[in-house]
A = this chain, B = another copy of it.
Amino acid sequence: MIACTDHNTPTGDRRRAAIAAAARALIAERGFEGLRTRDIAARAGINVATMHYHVPSKEALVALVAQSLRDDFIAQHNARPRAGLSAGEILRLEIADFRETREHNIDLFRVMAEMMEKARRDENIAAAMRPMQGFWHRQIVDILARGVAEGDFRADLDPQAGATIFLGALIGTMRHPDPTSAHFDRVAAEIARAFGLGPSQPALPVAKA
């Protein structure tokens, strides 16, 4: 029997954050199907019962993960001030951001993919994911619309359809058998051509005309 009186313990929100992080790591690793409450608790360094105290059910856990994703998503976008840039430059930054996440924070995408899948059959999750998805889509629509108005993009580009194509293409690179970034860069370049965007400035990382 080991004494378990470690009082240097984060409580409340900190606990919930730890649980969310553990859950996300495990979802990224094994998917929703293989997600077990005991594993999450173990990963968070606490007992299952303790976890249930903080997050009373698996449903609540899923909501917590969704919220955690949304927080990260929003924070990530807010961390990038884009005032004063042209629509074309912003679109290139969006691509660069996606590339960055794709390479260094792929778990975010993995968890998101799992949540989207689950959202199809669970209206609660769907409700939690919709804002995020909508926010992202609308943001691209706005960029494209502004770019069309300002002459950065093709004049007959349909911003709504363009946003779907843009996001679909980026996400599609992750389904592609070629996991390297080389294919991603070709797709990015092709999108630029397809949208009538001129060659990128030398300073930007997407450069590959």
Contacts from A to B (Cβ < 8 Å): 1-4, 6, 8-10, 29-34, 42, 45-47, 110, 113-114, 116-118, 120-121, 130, 133-134, 137, 154, 156-158, 160-162, 164-165, 167-173, 175-177, 183, 186-187, 189-191, 193-195
Contacts and interface: CB of A to CB of B under 8 A. Distances in A.
Contacts of A1: 6, 8-10, 45-46
Given A8-B1, A120-B31, A191 B165 contact: yes
Contacts of A3: 42, 45
A31 B170 contact: no
A159 to B, nearest CB: 9
Give the top 7 A-B pairs by smallest Cβ distance, nearest first.
A168-B172, A194-B194, A161-B190, A168-B168, A165-B169, A161-B186, A168-B169
Given A158-B186, A168-B168, 11 more contacts: A2-B2, A2-B4, A31-B117, A113-B117, A130-B177, A137-B176, A154-B193, A161-B187, A164-B183, A168-B172, A194-B194
The copy count of this chain in the complex is 4
Contacts of A164: 169, 172-173, 176, 183, 187
A30 to B, nearest CB: 6
Nearest to A186: B161
Contacts of A133: 175, 177
Interface centre among A118, A134, A162, A195, by most chain B C-beta atoms within 10 angstroms, is A162
Contact of A186 (B117, B160, B172): B160
Contacts of A6: 1-2
Contacts of A10: 1
Pick the most buried of A113, A161, A176: most chain B CB atoms within 10 A of its CB: A161
A114 B46 CA distance: 32
A40 B168 CA distance: 33
